[in-house]
Chain A
Amino acid sequence: MSQQSGARILVVDDEPGILRAVQTNLGRHDFRVETASTGREALEAYARVRPDLVLLDLGLPDMDGLDIIRAIRERANTPIVVLSSREAERDKVTALDLGADDYVTKPFGINELLARVRVAMRHAAHPDSGTEPVMRFDDLVVDLERRRVVVGGNEVRLTPTEWDLVKLLTSHPDKVLTDRMITEAVWGASYAAQAHSLHVYVARLRKKLDTGDAARRRILTEPGVGYRLVTD
């Protein structure tokens, strides 16, 4: 929590009600909050305050939210959490592909939003978390150097593709990876050609990593978007 104190967050939304609620809450959790209700204001505020995180609504009156992601990614790796409505399913995937770090679907509870903000900030603080030789997530241990995966004390045998998949997911814990990102990273192939094999491999990997407890699934499906490795 300590690394978050005083972090600057830019909140971009054209709904005054949302803006106010989010601002009040973030302020109470020791963030310094800047708000913008149009795309133009957002870019201007971004250049001025250099925020540590951007909360971005995709449906802005004057600009496409996706263009704002592009503009920010041209300059920096500032974490971006997208606030999207359910109608903009496709936009959400595009936003992640463009480099947004996560998304929260409206309407959302404040706790969910705060959790996503914290995760995004944590990853921003440790960008090389995926390169430590041994990673532990509860009872899942991934040893990158020795290419070993241990679940609940038992070593699990993985095929090379499964291993690549585990490596990719564990190097981005708690982050949504879209189908496209995963297929391109694991197979180096186009998304369209591999979409189906991806689902098959994830299903197989789940059988090997999960302990059978549905509430403690490791690899979470984000419907219509992609997958996320859950760590807590």
Chain B
Amino acid sequence: MRKLMGKIPAGRRGLVGYTAALGSVTAVSLFIGFILWQVNIANASMLYLLAVMATAVAFGRGPAIFASVLAFLVFDCFFVEPLHQLTVSDPEEWVSLLFFLLTATVTGQLAAAQRQRAQEARQREREAVVLYDVVRLLGGNDVDQALEAVAERVRSELQIPGLVIELWQPEGGARRFKAGRVPPTVSAYRNSSAAVRILQSGPPTDSRDHAQTGRWVRIVRPTHGAGALEHVHLVPIRVDDRRLGALLLVDPDGHFDMSEDRLVSLAAAQIGIAVDRARLRKEATEAEILRRTDELRRALLNAVSHDLRTPLATIMASASSLRQNDVVWTEDERQGFAQAIEQEAERLNRLVGNLLDLSRIEAGSLRPQKSWQDVEALVDDTVDRLRTVTARHNFQLEMQKDLPPVWLDPVEIGQVIYNLVENATKYVPPESDITLEVRRQGGVLAFTVSDRGPGIPSQSIPHLFDPFYRVMDGRPRPHGLGLGLAIVKGLVEAHGGRVWVENRPGGGAQFTFTVPLAAAASATTTPAQATVV
């Protein structure tokens, strides 16, 4: 019934009830007239009870009372002697008429009350179903998506053309989730109208009563001239006493009953809770990220300062030894101190260089200075620099003959080879084999560094090339910051190559990186590149 009546405005709906009451009483009167004309039966007035009951069921209390009184008057006027007068000659008739009026009123009341209860039950059920849907939709993790669905759900329930959920952002502006047809001017946020002031400062009445939170406003659509009006129902969305936004119901007819008002207010309250919860969740996540970032930064700072200070400790101890004036050092001892200072200064320089390389890689400002390079000379040169690093290991070089010249930055690729071999020496036991192999593989030049060390735990492989990542598996932590492999990756990728690691059958790790030979071909066809880089 409610659905049928849904779009008939309340005032007109009342009028319909009274008209129907009038109509049904008239119809029953004609019927009684017809019967009494044929036969004389007692208590024909009871037929009016049918009309009263039908009116009560269909239109409620008011029209039912109206029908009772009307039936009483009509019956008295037309069927009780003297006719066409409201007076009654027979006192017995008085009793019977009054009895009729009482019966009709009570019947009407009972039927109307029944009707109202049924109607309320339907409304409650509807509210429950809609709220359940709203809560279910808002229960998901993606609040934005949920709000779209909620807007559509509430809009279709209310059978209105458009609905907007508007959430005000703390930094200003508003986010809108629309359903149906929404005129572009509909916004509680942008309009500094009375409605917005009410929404933002609160209505003068008790703002905690959800049933009273809706406000009617008229928003003028400037594009359609001053005469065009859009009815918008504003329902604030709030949690505790904070206002988070509004539900805007676009409805040209602009009528909602109490039940719908309550429904919308409850939906708004649910939306408020969900949005607030999402905000809290987001804040908690952000706080957690901040905490972890902070933790990482502290760990990083500790690692960096430790690794920078360690060589400094040797330098300082050696230099202050040389300055001792109560000791006369032998030439060998002096050389020893000087060498330590030199070595540690070099180590420090490498560390600083690595940090700078990494920051350049991360900033994306790496510009390889490429030129045609003889691979053999490059590798020999690097192996030479590696001599002290590999002194305690059995280092072997296997190089394919007649490799073509390659278009690359010799310093950077030399650095890549250096880092990979140095990395191997840190993790494998002294005297064990470390092999550097260089060969052509189709369109690329492949460099492979293999060892017979402990290999790499499989869970570490995906992170191995991350900056500051260290394999933690209970083994003693080697020196260094965990930058070497991250730099390798950055430099190789800047050359259009690839780097990966795998565990060798029979034990040990094997790092391979490639440099494309094809890049050289393209470089020859476009010599401009050579001067640009």
Q: Which residues of A contact B (CB under 8 A)?
A: 15, 17-18, 20-22, 24-25, 28-29, 38, 59, 61-62, 85-87, 106-111, 113
Cα-based distance from A34 to B313 in the complex (angstroms): 20
Contact mask for chain B residues 319-353; partner A; CB cutoff 8 A; 1 contact, 0 none: 01100100101000100110010011000000000
Also in contact, A18 and B313, with CB within 8 A (given A86-B305, A87-B302, A110-B320) = yes
B306–A17 contact, CB under 8 A? no
Cα-based distance from A107 to B310 in the complex (angstroms): 8
Cα-based distance from A74 to B310 in the complex (angstroms): 30
B343–A17 contact, CB under 8 A? yes
| B337 partner, pick from A24, A29, A61, beta carbons under 8 A | A24
B318–A106 contact, CB under 8 A? no
Additional pairs, 15, CB under 8 Å, beyond known A24-B333, A25-B321? A17-B314, A17-B318, A28-B329, A38-B476, A62-B476, A85-B306, A85-B309, A86-B305, A86-B309, A106-B309, A107-B315, A107-B316, A107-B317, A108-B316, A110-B317
A21–B302 contact, CB under 8 A? no
Cα-based distance from A62 to B477 in the complex (angstroms): 8
B324–A107 contact, CB under 8 A? no
B327–A28 contact, CB under 8 A? yes
User: Within 8 Å CB of B321, what residues of A?
Assistant: 21, 24-25, 110
Also in contact, A87 and B343, with CB within 8 A (given A21-B321, A110-B320, A110-B321) = no
B453 part of interface (Cβ distance < 8 Å): no
Also in contact, A24 and B336, with CB within 8 A (given A17-B344, A109-B317, A109-B320) = yes
B324–A110 contact, CB under 8 A? yes
Cα-based distance from A113 to B321 in the complex (angstroms): 11
| A18 partner, pick from B317, B333, B343, B477, beta carbons under 8 A | B317
Interface of chain B, helix or strand or loop or mixed? helix
A21–B327 contact, CB under 8 A? no
Q: How far is the CB of A174 from chain B (nearest CB, A)?
A: 21
B311 part of interface (Cβ distance < 8 Å): yes
Nearest 10 CB-CB pairs, A to B? A17-B314, A61-B476, A109-B320, A107-B316, A107-B313, A21-B317, A106-B313, A110-B320, A107-B312, A17-B340
Interface band, chain B: 20 to 34
Q: Which residues of B contact A (CB under 8 A)?
A: 302, 305-306, 309-318, 320-321, 324, 327, 329, 333, 336-337, 340, 343-344, 476-477
Cα-based distance from A157 to B310 in the complex (angstroms): 48
User: Within 8 Å CB of A15, what residues of B?
Assistant: 310, 313-314
| Residue in B315, B320, B327, B477 whose Cβ sees the most chain A Cβ within 10 Å | B320
Cα-based distance from A194 to B23 in the complex (angstroms): 97
User: Within 8 Å CB of A22, what residues of B?
Assistant: 317
Q: How far is the CB of A51 from chain B (nearest CB, A)?
A: 20
Cα-based distance from A29 to B309 in the complex (angstroms): 26
| Residue in A24, A28, A106 whose Cβ sees the most chain B Cβ within 10 Å | A24
Q: How far is the CB of A59 from chain B (nearest CB, A)?
A: 8
User: Within 8 Å CB of A24, what residues of B?
Assistant: 321, 333, 336-337
24 contacts between A and B (CB under 8 A): A15-B310, A17-B311, A18-B313, A18-B317, A21-B314, A21-B321, A25-B317, A25-B324, A28-B329, A62-B476, A85-B313, A86-B305, A86-B309, A106-B313, A107-B309, A107-B312, A107-B313, A107-B315, A107-B316, A107-B317, A108-B316, A108-B317, A109-B317, A110-B317
User: Within 8 Å CB of A113, what residues of B?
Assistant: 317
